Amino acid sequence: MVKVGLLARIVAKPGKEEEVAAFLAGALPLAEREEATTVWFAIRLGQHEFGIFDAFPDAAGQRAHLEGPIAAALMARADELLAEPPRIDKVEVLAAKLHG
């Protein structure tokens, strides 16, 4: 069961929107390899704004994700792609439906 999550908001630099979208879509295989990442969504919120929502069974899984390859890759390209630093909020998951 998921208990904690992360909600990240990402704002692309003008002209970098499709590169950010491709970066996020390309991160899926990395998320799939993270055992404690129960759910992972990369979403588009508007023309320049994107988001990532992911959830974990516990704080250790959340911490492992924050210290993992997706976060490292995003921060390595932040100056190139992002208009501002990502806003990452730790959240508590109150209820979840995980099966389609």
- List pLDDT tens digits, range 23-42: 999 999 999 999 999 999 99
In this prediction, residue 65 carries a pLDDT of 96
Q: What's the Cα-to-Cα distance from 87 to each of 12, 35, 50, 84, 100, rounded to whole Å?
A: 12, 24, 11, 9, 29
pLDDT band at 99 (very low <50, low <70, confident <90, very high): confident
